[in-house]
Structure 1
Amino acid sequence: MEPLEDFGGPDDRRLHIVLHEPEIPGNTGNIGRLCAGTNVWLHLVKPLGFDLDDRYLKRAGLDYWPHVKISLHENFEAVEAIFPRERMHFFTKKTTRAYDQANWQGGSVLIFGKETKGLPAEIREHYEDRCFRIPTTDKVRSLNLSNACAIVLYDAMRQLNWEPLQG
């Protein structure tokens, strides 16, 4: 595991996905597989709804799980201490600005909430200017977390001319 002090600094060009209190091991496993395939760091904020050695987590990530660059954080404040505000992008259905309005840069941090409740209100309110949504119809409550991560991550990489795949 890479030292945390390397994250968030001016030379950090990697993309990061942060899952705030994820609950479903299969989703986290799918997102881990996505991260392994894109050279993106996965950050998990406790409490988790599963153990990291959960069989569903590993099954969803298949044999790619050993290639996932992962960091575990005790709370969201630990994430805030690492990454500058201007690099953090929060995804929630409770905002009006679409994800394609995000200003992507190397070192961007994509932050998603738990499957059942999304991001806590205090985080959304504190980072209101950094919140984005994936537009959907009113026919669904929300998209699957792993699908949402893939949609946003690939748009960010496209805008960055696929630079993350080179790292």
Structure 2
Amino acid sequence: MGKPLSEMTLEELWELFPIFLTEHHDCWADWYKDEMRVLRGILPPGSLLHHVGSTAIKGIWAKPIIDILIEAPDMAALDNSAGALKAAGYICMSHDGNRVDFNKGYTPEGFAQPVFHLHLRLMGDHDELYFRDYLNEHPDIAKEYEGLKLELWK
């Protein structure tokens, strides 16, 4: 077994978890739905879940990481959600006021499959939905976005 992630240098982490893109896979929607069912059993009532990020945009290349936006109805629900997610094995990556980010699927051996990034926010803090919906409604613009991502990746 490798050393714990918390003891790795930034260089070791970049080597273990490189940024890579892959063509769109229909299974990404299924991975989201499966994880959504798990999260519904963890999160307080009234929380909203959304598949966001490039894996939620039809037909474009993306990092094979499922981004899930969770909207909590108030600060108490936000705090309770954060505690419940930690208890369920999610790793808190950042906590900045009303925004908390969690990861799941990073191991000392590299990426698990699937990998999730959770973005916990207060209700209404969901600009990613507008971006996702716009790109899904405008495939030509989504392809331009994909081209930019592929260019920057290289």
- TM-score class, shorter: under 0.3
Structure label with greater radius of gyration: 2
More strand by share: 2
TM-score by structure 1 length? 0.25
